[in-house]
Each structure stands twice: as structure tokens, then as C-alpha cells.
Chains A and B, each alone.
Chain A
């Protein structure tokens, strides 16, 4: 990517001894693409009703912000920034806020940082190792990858892919196509209406207290985590649940689970309402509970 460094270097190129103030602004297209990476302590992404991008905040002593726009003058369609820190202490002082048009696409990649995004309806692609991610928005596309960091999404997304290793995932809102996956973190879904969803873990528990849309499809899969589905009493859904060795408890209807078809574990098939949505639940040895909201 061709990148003209014009904006940031001015006051920030040389490391300074104290906290450095960042205040950069540029007119942009409504769907501007902004990329920010490097050593960050916290990042706040705020959508505003302007066709411009601003990056404000402060950098720790010895840190350096570099980058700029794709075009030296005029309205930009892309900006890219990189932050370097002299040490861990300086990194924690690198606290930036990105103000972007609502329809912007924002990409952030960093180590351990707290990221908070509000109001963005374009796209968010956020990648951290530790820290946390909080999204209060409903972007069209939401991609979050974290190792230890927890992820909280209030609003959902048309297309969401959230992956963690040990970090917990919490989501609410509305989603057309949602994948939440973790190894040992907990997945908690509340008040989420999903058209097509996949929720999977290795050992982490999965709790779904949402809704599967008409003709929707939701799948829950874990090795040893417990799965709890809390569905609306009038849900229109067909449920197939099976375990290899785990137990299944049905508190949603009178139908009781039976021994699995291979002679082990348990399985349960039930239908509610017109059964237009399909729910599949599978565990190796995790227990399953299906109940009402």
C-alpha cells in the first residue's frame, strides 16, 4: 500500500520525555478505512456524524506514532497508523481515540489493550492478545480475535466472527451470520436474534438465551463445556441435541431425552411451534440443559 507520511510525524517523530499529545484530523470519505496497530494501552473508537477522521489522545514517554493518509491532500479514503513504545510503561500510556464516520471500516491490531468501539456501522476488525474489547454498535461486519482478552458485543452484527482462546465472549443484539468460538472461555449470548449462528468451545461453557430467527440455523458444539439453551416458550424451533457421554436435561418441554443411538450418551429431539428454525446441539462429554427464558 502506498502511504504518504505527512500527518503525524510533525510533532511526534522524535520521542519526547513526557506524555505526548496527539491531535490529528483529516477530511475523509464516509466509508474511510482506518488501520491502527502497534503498542497500545487503550483505544477508543467513536463514530461521529462527520466525514472526517480524528485521532486524539496521548502517548507515553518515548513512544512514537507514525503513519498518515493514502493521499497527501484532500479527502482521504484511507489512513494507517503505527505506534511504537520504548517499554511496557510507555505502552500503557499510549491511549488513543479514533473518531470516524459511522460507515468507516476500522482495523486495529495490538498486544494487550482495552478497545472500546461505539456507534460504528461499517466494519470493525479488532485483534488483541490480552486486555478487552467492548463494542456498543451494530456494524455490518465484525471480526474480533483475542487470546486472553474478553469480548463484549452489545448490538450484534450482520456478519460476526469472534474468536478467543481463554477470553470470555458476551454478545447481545441481532446477527445475520454469527460465529462465536473459544477454547476455554465462556460464551454468553443474551437477547440475540440470530439467523445463522455457530457457537463452539472446547471446554468453555455456552449459554444461549436468545432467539433463532424464522428459517434460521443455530449450532452449538463443545467438547466438555456445559451448554445451556434458554428459549422463548413460543419459539418456533426444531432441536436436536446429542452427547457422547454428557447428560441432557429438558426443562423446555415434557419430552425426555433417551440413550444415544450408538448406545451411549444421550439424545433429544423436540419440536416447538412450527419448527421453522433448526438448532443442533452436540457435546462430547459436556452436559446440556434446555429450558425456557
Chain B
């Protein structure tokens, strides 16, 4: 059986780059032949690499982008006060906006070329982030929505204490997802982080599946 034990991100990344040695290569190929999840992860990794490779090497933000970013930062300040850290999406969006904002705020006053390169790198990272995160999440969100609906539909049949316990566990997973998203937002070129985020989504899916079938007794 191939269930549950998957090829890790580093191995998949090395596989994608043709860097595995014979034994590891054979092991990876055997598992990939049998495991749709890992094939999907491999495809995502290749997609991330392809996307990153296709990005422009220089980014020149148009003036209207800065105006929009400044407006979003201003808007965020009020939302931050409303416990933004409880919302993974908002946290990551904030991270993206702040990275872009920081780069753009500093850029007009920058001096030497290394500082400029760092700013450009930050810009590129920010530009990639939504692509990478969206690439991972697009794969899982439809299933998550369906499972969440299934859970909600049977919620009233469960004991309140059971519902509370389930919600607590979901909150724990969501916190992990939010932290992984923020880390990926800060380092969108990391295949390991992309795989970590994907693995957390898989855990949430698996948990929601279980939650949808537990006894109401």
C-alpha cells in the first residue's frame, strides 16, 4: 500500500531536478507510480518552478500600484485591530501587502545597487507569493468547502461539546496553515514551504472527513 507515507518535498524537488541517486530515484519512482497525491505535489512543484522562471528579472512598479498599496495598508490598519491573526487569509494578505509596501516605500530613497537588488528581490518575492499560495490552495479549496458544508450540515446533530472539540482542533490546524502561509509568503521560492502548506491542507481535509462521519451519539 502507498497510503499515508509520502515522498517528502526535498526528495520530490531533487527528483524534479534530476538530482536523485539510483536508490533514492528508484524509491521515488516506485512511490510516484502508485501515489496520485505525490504526483500532484510533483506537478505543483514543477509548476512553481516554471512560474518563477517565467517571472521578469526586473520589476518596475507603476505609480498607481503604490497608491493602491498605500490605500490597502491604511485600510489594513483598522482591520489589524480586529484580531487579524485569527484569520489565515488576512494574515497572509497582510504579509504580502506589507512586503510589497516595504519594498515600494524604501525603493524611491534607495542608494547603492545591492540595496536596489534587495528591493527588487523583495518585489519579486511579493509578486510571486499570490501565485504560489494560490497554486497550492486552488488544489484543496473546493474539497475543503464541500467538507466544511458537510460538517455544517450535521453540526446540529452533534453534542455541543463535540462541536466545540472539533472547532478547537480545526482552529489548531488553521493556525498552522496561517503560519505556513505567512512563511511561504515571505519565501515563495521554497518548495519545502509549499509542500508544508499543502500537507497542512491535506490534514485539514482528512480531519474534516473524519468530522463529517463521527457518531452523533
A284 contact from B180, B210, B217, Cβ within 8 A: B180
17 A-B pairs besides A147-B165, A177-B1, A198-B5 with CB distance below 8 A are A111-B159, A129-B165, A129-B214, A129-B215, A130-B165, A165-B166, A166-B165, A179-B4, A179-B5, A198-B4, A217-B5, A219-B5, A221-B199, A223-B179, A244-B193, A284-B180, A285-B179
Is the CB–CB distance between A109 and B5 below 8 Å?
A: no
Is the CB–CB distance between A202 and B176 below 8 Å?
A: yes
Contact A91/B176 with A184-B169, A202-B203, A217-B5 known, Cβ cut-off 8 Å: no
Chain B residues with CB under 8 Å of A165's CB are 165-166, 169, 207
Chain B residues with CB under 8 Å of chain A are: 1, 4-5, 8, 159, 162, 165-166, 168-169, 172-173, 176, 179-180, 183, 187, 190, 192-193, 196, 199-200, 203, 207, 210, 214-217
Is the CB–CB distance between A262 and B173 below 8 Å?
A: no
CA–CA, A38 and B216, complex, Å: 9
A148 interfacial contact with B, CB 8 Å: yes
A39 interfacial contact with B, CB 8 Å: yes
Closest 7 A/B residue pairs (Cβ): A111-B217, A165-B169, A223-B176, A183-B169, A39-B217, A111-B215, A179-B4
26 chain-A/chain-B pairs, Cβ below 8 angstroms? A37-B215, A111-B159, A112-B217, A127-B214, A129-B162, A129-B165, A129-B215, A145-B210, A147-B214, A165-B165, A165-B169, A166-B165, A177-B1, A183-B172, A183-B207, A184-B169, A203-B172, A217-B5, A219-B8, A221-B199, A223-B180, A244-B183, A244-B192, A262-B190, A284-B180, A284-B183
Is the CB–CB distance between B217 and A38 below 8 Å?
A: yes
CA–CA, A13 and B175, complex, Å: 49
CA–CA, A85 and B217, complex, Å: 9
Contact A163/B210 with A110-B217, A127-B215 known, Cβ cut-off 8 Å: yes
Q: How many residues of A contact B (CB 8 A)?
A: 40
B162 contact from A39, A145, A147, A179, Cβ within 8 A: A147
CA–CA, A217 and B27, complex, Å: 12
Specify the chain B residue showing the minimal Cβ separation from A282.
B8
CA–CA, A111 and B158, complex, Å: 10
A12-58 interface with B by 8 A CB criterion: 37-40
A118 interfacial contact with B, CB 8 Å: no
Is the CB–CB distance between A196 and B217 below 8 Å?
A: no
CA–CA, A91 and B217, complex, Å: 9
Nearest CB in chain B: distance from A49 CB, A:
32
Most buried by A among B183, B193, B215: B215
Is the CB–CB distance between A166 and B5 below 8 Å?
A: no
A147 contact from B4, B166, B190, Cβ within 8 A: B166
CA–CA, A110 and B159, complex, Å: 13
CA–CA, A166 and B162, complex, Å: 12
Nearest CB in chain A: distance from B8 CB, A:
6
Is the CB–CB distance between B179 and A166 below 8 Å?
A: no
Chain A residues with CB under 8 Å of B207's CB are 165, 183
A280 interfacial contact with B, CB 8 Å: yes
Chain B residues with CB under 8 Å of A40's CB are 217
